Structure 1
Amino acid sequence: MWRGDLDDLDGLRAAADNADAVVHLGNKHDWSDPAETIRSERAAVTALADTLAGSDRPLLLASVLSGLVHDRPAEETDPSPAVGPDSPRGGSENLALAYADKGVRVIAARFAPSVHGPGDTGFLANLVAAARTHHRSAYLGAGTTAWSAVHRGDAATLIRLALDQAPPATILHVVAEQAVTTRDIAEAIGTRLDLPIASIPADNAATHFGFVGRFLAQDMSAANTHTRRLLSWNPTGPTLLDDIRSGAYDHA
Structure 2
Amino acid sequence: MLLAIDLGNTNVVFALFEGRQVRARWRIATDPRRTGDEYAVWLSQLLALEGVERSAIDGIIVSTVVPRALHNIQVLARKYFGLEPLIAGEGAAEYPMQIDVEQPRSLGADRAVNAIAAHARYPGDLIIVDFGTATTFDAVDFNGAYKGGIIAPGLNLSLDALVGNTAKLPRIAIEAPRTESVIGTNTEDQMLIGVFWGYVAMMEGLIARMKTEIGRPAKVIATGGLAVLFQQHTRIFDAVDADLTLDGLAILAERARSQ
Give the TM-score taking structure 2 as reference length: 0.28
Higher strand share: 2
**Which protein shows a greater Rg?**
2
Give the TM-score taking structure 1 as reference length: 0.28
Q: Which has the higher contact order (CA 8 A, sep 6+)?
A: 1
